[in-house]
Amino acid sequence: MRLFLCTLLAALLLSLSARSEVPGEIRSQYRDGMIWLKVNIAGKSEPLNFLLDSGAGVSAIDLRTARADGVLLGRRQIVLGVNGQSFAFQVNGLQALCAGIALPKTILAVDLHGLSDCCGQPVNGILGADFFRGRIVQIDFKDGRVRILERCNPNLAKCEILPIRMCNDAFCVPVRVAGNSAQWMRLDTGSDAALEWVVGETEKRQTGQSSIGLSGKSVHINTSVQLGKKCFNAVTTAVHREQIFPGEDGLLGNALLSKFRLTIDQPGNRVIFENPI
């Protein structure tokens, strides 16, 4: 199932494999394959439920929530999602905090009620890729923390480091599937799946047993997935004939990402996949 639009004690020593200072730390919950955060809007007493979604190019607030809270809506525009196009409204000057950390002031208001239905509880908004820009953000799935780091010096023996490429305002990393050459796929903490893999309409790629050429809707296979030198076998993978987003070869989601302590270092143009202790 694809869910879209999608910090341990404050200490100086996070672990033996990644020593970093922690100027900001957010409590999170990893539940039902998604990362949940509490966000406070200026003038409102009750916190809102937001999802941390690195696969969304911009942060957003649910349209019904925005209207109920008296948020001023700007011009209407078209946004692209996994299931096609939809409408959104620009919101400027939003004053919102997550554990004292300021959210982007310019976001979108979009109807997230379908996402709420999939999650079985209200989704009032999402923190997208704009929340990560200019920051080093560490996601600790196991400990339920999201940390904003000043620096990160990983132990190369205990992690895999992949480069970041920006595409469609989102982070993409190179992933090898079934022994094929690396393909650039969206790093998507807003997906509860392991992998969504694109195989072109006329192109054939190895699945590990035989070549495939797809038509129609996606199918699911079990295949190997490699991140740097780290390889996982028998990963449930949805295979698509057409690209989900232009120029991207798929999505890497939380079913795989949660096996690591994940650090998205946007200033350093890298993602660190660290084996949790």
183 — pLDDT class (breaks 50, 70, 90):
very high
From 131-140, 236-245, 256-265, the region with the lowest mean pLDDT = 236-245
C-beta contacts of 133-136 below 8 A and 24+ residues apart: 133/266, 134/266, 134/267, 135/266, 135/267, 136/20, 136/263, 136/264, 136/265, 136/266, 136/267, 136/268
**Once rounded to an integer, what is the mean pLDDT over residues 70-85?**
77
Residue 217: left if φ>0, alpha if ψ -120 to 50, beta else—which one? beta
> Of 3.50.50.60, 2.40.70.10, 3.40.50.150, 2.40.50.140, which CATH number belongs to 18-149?
2.40.70.10
Q: Hey, what long-range contacts does 79-87 have (CB within 8 A, 24 or more apart)?
A: 79/108, 79/110, 80/168, 80/245, 81/4, 81/5, 82/2, 82/4, 82/5, 82/244, 83/4, 86/110, 86/111, 87/111
CATH class as words, domain 156-274: mainly beta
- Cα–Cα distance for residue pair 139/141, rounded to 1 Å: 6
What stretch(es) of the chain map to CATH 2.40.70.10? 18-149, 156-274
pLDDT higher than 60, residue 156: yes
The predicted structure's pLDDT at residue 6: 36
What pLDDT score does 187 carry?
98
